[in-house]
Amino acid sequence: MKKKSLYSLMALLLLGVFVFTSCEEKDEEMDQTEQNIVEIASSDDSFSTLVAALSKANLASTLQGGGPFTVFAPTNDAFDLLFNDLGVTGLDDLSAEALTPVLLYHVLSGQALSTNLSTGFVSTLSPGPGDSKISLQVEVGSVILNGSAEVTSADNMASNGVIHVIDEVLLPPDLVDIALNNSDFSILVQAVVKAELTESLLDDGPYTVFAPTNEAFEDLFTALGVSGIANLSKEQLQPILLYHVVSGNVRSENLSSGDVPTLHGDNISVDVGATVTINGTSNVILVDIQGTNGVVHVIDEVLLPH
């Protein structure tokens, strides 16, 4: 009986140690998640530039709010690379007005853990034309943003969301950037450059671009009996490309059936039903990639002017 009592006592003691340790670990976990996003960033020296930028742009209080938010947080090294690219010495050379859209471009509404991210485009809090929000391109695997920024540490939990650490500062993209960041548009980029239309798509706009994929261009080359962009002149490419551009920031919810004038001059015919088609044969396969000076809708066939 004594031996049995001794075993029982030891079991109780071990159980007590286990419960105490578990509670202690849970307390430590809670201590980590009791801090909001700004508090976590402020406690890590590698985010001192980000914290200073948030303060200068008067956004710290926003990210201390209820949220939840998902923040892609650039390190000090990432900001140093940006300063070097911009030819500035630091935050003192950037205004609050310049910083605000950049910082908001690193923030999503809602809590998106790395396991919830999928390849595609998501809306950030950075404002675009009208009431739109600028899109961010995500590629999963090793998570890459806009084709170059890498998530180096994921799922750092805060009381009001989650932080993913990145190695590059993200800049809100214009229409040209959207094409450059996406490998599916590499032929479109070649065509725009050869047609000398890059500057036009860097204008304030806003514009709506129906962007053909590489596959759509390959189908065009086959139909024309040419091997690629090299076989088409600037004079041939310009009217084709301008036929894909409409004035205004027309998002998918504002598309309606009918004829729409393009920058080329000829109309395109839009048919909105279960799917959206252009000129009866070209399908819109992805909508609302929002840039700073317009929106992109992806199509599966190159449109040819009448």
- 193/111 same-domain check: no
- 152/217 same-domain check: no
> Domain of 207: which CATH number?
2.30.180.10
Look at residue 7 and tell me if it is in a domain. Answer: no
Look at residue 2 and tell me if it is in a domain. Answer: no
Q: How many domains does the chain have?
A: 2
Which structural domain, as residue segments, surrounds residue 242? 175-299
Identify the helix (H) or strand (E) that includes residue 72. strand 69-74
* Domain end marker among 114, 140, 166: 166
Look at residue 237 and tell me if it is in a domain. Answer: yes
Look at residue 27 and tell me if it is in a domain. Answer: no
Look at residue 15 and tell me if it is in a domain. Answer: no
Q: How far apart are CA 220 and CA 28, in angstroms?
A: 60
Q: How far apart are CA 306 and CA 303, in angstroms?
A: 9
- 153/42 same-domain check: yes
- Residue 227 identity: S
Look at residue 106 and tell me if it is in a domain. Answer: yes
The yes-or-no verdict on residue 49 having pLDDT over 80 is: yes
- 201/88 same-domain check: no
pLDDT value of residue 58: 96
Other Cβ atoms within 10 Å of 149 Cβ, number:
21
Look at residue 5 and tell me if it is in a domain. Answer: no
E-only strand ranges, 113-178: 120-127, 133-139, 144-145, 149-158, 161-166
pLDDT digits (tens, 9 = 90+) for 124-173: 999 999 999 999 999 998 899 999 999 999 999 999 999 999 999 999 99
pLDDT value of residue 7: 38
Instruction: Place 65 in a pLDDT band, splitting at 50, 70 and 90.
Output: confident
- 151/227 same-domain check: no
Q: How far apart are CA 76 and CA 46, in angstroms?
A: 6
* Domain end marker among 166, 200, 219: 166
Peptide bond into 239 cis (omega under 30): no
Look at residue 13 and tell me if it is in a domain. Answer: no
Beta-carbon contacts of residue 169 (< 8 Å; ≥ 6 apart): 74, 78, 79, 81, 82, 102, 149
Nearest by Cα to 104 from 139, 148, 60: 60
- 186/277 same-domain check: yes
Instruction: Place 27 in a pLDDT band, splitting at 50, 70 and 90.
Output: very low
Could you tell me how many residues make up the chain?
A: 306
* Domain end marker among 166, 200, 227: 166
Give the strand pairing for 207-212 and 294-299.
Answer: parallel
Q: How far apart are CA 255 and CA 253, in angstroms?
A: 6
pLDDT digits (tens, 9 = 90+) for 235-284: 999 999 999 999 999 999 999 999 999 999 999 999 999 999 999 999 99
pLDDT value of residue 306: 82
pLDDT, averaged across the chain: 90
- pTM for the structure as a whole: 0.87
